[in-house]
Structure 1
């Protein structure tokens, strides 16, 4: 009765009007149709629909949870891959900037070399101008051919100055272009630096997002487990209620359905036979569900292990990244040190090259001056003697006296005036084993020095040098020279080149130290020894060091 009242029937309305045919349909419908009608009247269909929707929500929740974890892992992978690509691009750009920086360093080195050349040219012009001015101040003492030579040299200097000015203009233009390129490179470097800083910050932001997501996940998992457990409890209670309701329906129906116990037992046996396939199917389904649950648990466990492995790999990568950053910083410091050392070696190389070039120029100039000072006939005669000795392998010819002696520069005038132009520019072949040097007694005075004592030469050449220089002493002044020549019968000479012979005649006058033959010969000898042996050796060592650094 209560069931009918809940369906809309009322005791106070005994004349309830229903549609035609409804009563007949109720009496003639099957048990399954009557059960569906009762479920619809009792509202249990809505419950079953909600129950199915709850099962779908639970299944979707598990899928969404796994999908959420997968999306987080995929997002982290894509972000890390993007960051690696950005860092790789930045490294390539930094490498290009380093190459451009090296080119800029080469430009600065060339600029320094240009300035040093300009300074050398300017200094050379100043020195030449001073020499020209000094020569002009004593113009009447120079022959006409020297004045014409000076005019030609002056014109050459003017041409060299014009060439240097043109080179300077081109260098300034190139300097301006390179300065503009430098500004562009600095702007690009600044932009790349900002981009690298942003790329460096992205891993930190990503790690923060991962940390926040993991915190949210740690909060969601307990809630999810609680909801799952609550859903299981509710499902269990629903199943128990359904079972009780079914038993009640069965009892209510059986009370009026069967007329005897035998009919009831027959119907029950038939129901048991009908339910056995359903029971076996349910048992099989339960077994499959248990296996599916075990598989899902294993899959969840595997994903947990994968997450732990990913976290471990992330920690390892972070430590490896820190180590690589440290190594990169160390290599950058070492690179800067090698760069500074290379710059220092380049500077040293430029200095040695400048010294060598300057020495070669001085050597060439001294050789030209020496060649101009020696008459052509004498020069050709000496060259012929050298060729004959070389072709016939004659080892006993030692060369001219000028090439065999060495002395202090302050004695150049005394030596040249003592030997005389005649002895320098007239070829005498002196056999050393035939020379008999005179025995000379020198005065024991502090203002008188034998000239031969101030000469440096090999002992093998002593007879020849005593033959030429033994009879001459160096005196402090002309008064002392006159007195010694008169009393001791020796040839006397002062450091300025004034001579007093033992016969009483006095010779001398102006001696141009700039045109000294011994000076030119000394420059040639020193330049040959220092430039081609010492400086070039040092220059080669510096080049080897630069090659090792590169």
Structure 2
């Protein structure tokens, strides 16, 4: 076994350290400079294996953490990997492991060990290491710096204690101390037992006297029991006889009471029927009054509506008369306008032909005049230019400029002409579009009349449908009011029944059932909901006549809830408790309630009560659990006989119970508060109420449907009226649109004419400019003249006179044409005015023709309102008639009800008297039953009767009381007797026997403990002697091997103690005498040199190690103070022993380095230590460098 690897993380100066190529199983030498981390490396090993770091405080843990650059670690660990091929380390619960990893992890609040990834405690790891050879009594497998010095300076007493520790005497001493403690405790127990013996013997003597008195007391008490039994038996027999008489009286009273109760129930039934009838009639009267109010209100509304409709009819009639007169006048005017329009059109045509001819002649004459004028102007301009320019060049220059101006004018005029043509084309296209609009088909008067007539027919049909639906709605509302009365009556009856039911049932039971329903609703779990079937009362049906017996027998179990399984009931109770629901609820799980009925034969006098209860097959086990052991009979006499015969519980049909053990219960039962009939009535009324509400919902749905249809009809009427208006508006819009198109066409014709005139003017301008340009070009080609000839002057004058005369003639022709144009315009205006007036008259005639349809619609509305008014009037009369009849009927029923109520009060007083008598009898019976039960209970309390009862059976009650008094006096004199004396005597005797057994056991234990202590002392002395001899032998042998001189010697002597007490240690110390071959042996080590002292200490350490070998050793600079020859000897010894065990040696010397199998160099940089494998040569260089650094520091220090 050896260390294969050591993994360090965050421990002191080591951030991360491991040995990838492992450690040597022999000698591993660690070299490095001072402060590089050698001691921290050994501390890391001790951190895992040694008790040195066993109990760490928080501050001490913090000091172990690596402090360097980077983020600080939250935990550190050291892991040692052992080669366990020899199987020295045995992990509990595992087979032999070839490799064992022991890791210790420490955090600020964590300290744990793990062995092969299993968590171990520190003590478990300690035991594991001890089993592998790491003895806690021999800590010298780790030799730290300074330990050799402390061993040299050790006193003889301390050295002897070291030998004892190596021998393992601490274990013996610990066991001896524990044995002494147990011995002291055992002796204390012995003393306590002795004291208990003394007290018990004293108490036993006292109990022997008390036992004699107790025997006398028991004899008197036995006699008292016999007397009391006879007294109690006599009382019980007396109570039974009196009870028999009371039962006979009770039967007679019960028969009379039942008869009176039957009469009372019949009267109650009649009163209930009359009350119900009166309530129904009152409800009907209230409904009729409410309906009468509604009908009267509708009549008031119809009256107002009728007045409004009559006003509309009158207004429509007056409007129709006015429209008729207006229509006649318009027709006449239209005829006159037609004649006038024809005459004006003829005059326009004649005047237009004259105007066209005059205009053509005037235009022709004006064109001729314009041509002559232009020729004249050109000649005048040429003559003026001859005077203006001095030479040809100036003239040509001016002509060229004028030619350019004319060319520009022609170009601009041409552009303007193109624009005019486009505008004329646009106007032409617009005129075509307007013509197409005018040619589109328009609504004729006949079409509009036909459309309005169709709308009138549809409006009439819709009005009839509306009136029909209103009548249907009114009838449905009447039915709804009647059904609401039924629902209200059933609701009141249902609430009353529910109130009676709740009053009859205990509050906690009602709350429990309500809470259960709430929990089921909140859970919304269909599985659990399906597993809950409801209370038992809702799951059974009872044959008529047996409900009282069933209810009395079941009691509150009627409200137990039936569920599928016990788990369901547990879940529901847990949920109710979790939600803190109030109330109390019990369950019948079907998987556990499988009751078996008793064998009760059916006969005329008796039958099983179970046969009178009907239920589903699933619930028969539950029903049998409740009713299966009870028989039902007709009377108490039969019940008494059947109890004795059948040995089961018996109940009468009236609810009187007789238990098989003799108990009798019963009395008056108010059948009005019986739960089964009340529950049945509540369920029936609930079903009727749900059916009535369903019917009411259906009627309300029908009303909603009819109202929806009425809304649709009203919407249709509104749509038809809107269509009428739309038709009229569309026709009016068409007419107005036609007029607008005609006006637009007229304006377009004017625009077109103006554009044509403008075009003509522009074309004339272009022609004039072209002619001017031609003349300018011609003049440019002519010779320049400084003056005109007389012939040219005469020609100019002649042309001037001709132009003047032509202008006069042209003006006369233009004036004539203008006169004709003015007259033509007047005729055109007259024609347009007549046409416009004629169109207005025609439009008004159409409108008057359409308005007649509105009057027909108003007439239809008036007829509908009148018919509805008549129907409501008839309904009002019918309601008044029904109210009168119902009032008289209610008065008659109220009189009968008062008479029945008075009669019922008398019967109730008589019934109360009988009830009081029955209660008194029942109370007496209860008291007698109580007396009998008390007597029976007292007899039972007496227990098993002693002998001697027979001599008191024939005695009278007086004698028995006398005997009892005498016995009581006797017992009074023995009242001080200890009644537990016999038991106490037996108990104390048993305690004495137990104490004797304990005394014997303690005596044996004392002897065993003393023997163990003697054995430990002997074993300790033997072990110390044996260890001393082994250490002495190995010390001498190792010393000789290290010194290497033949005459050297080493001795280890035990110094005897001055005291001769056997219990004390026979030795006081251990003395060392050594000789290095020169001079006398030395006993005082202070006389040796430092190297010799270290050698003696090492010899002793090696001797101890040979006595108690470990699998490996850690030496930290053990050769620091040795001389060179001794260092070589120590190195050779380590080399020899490394065949048997592993060494990890830290040194500054080269001797150990020479015999090493592996050299590990420690380097320190940036506050972090690092260990790596190096060669021996590198190790030597590292040691030399370390020595140089040390000498340098020493010189700097000096």
Q: TM-score, normalised by structure 2?
A: 0.21
* Structure with greater helix share of residues: 1
Q: Give the number of the structure with larger relative contact order, counting CA–CA contacts within 8 Å between residues 6 or more apart.
A: 2
* Structure with greater strand share of residues: 2
Q: TM-score, normalised by structure 1?
A: 0.40
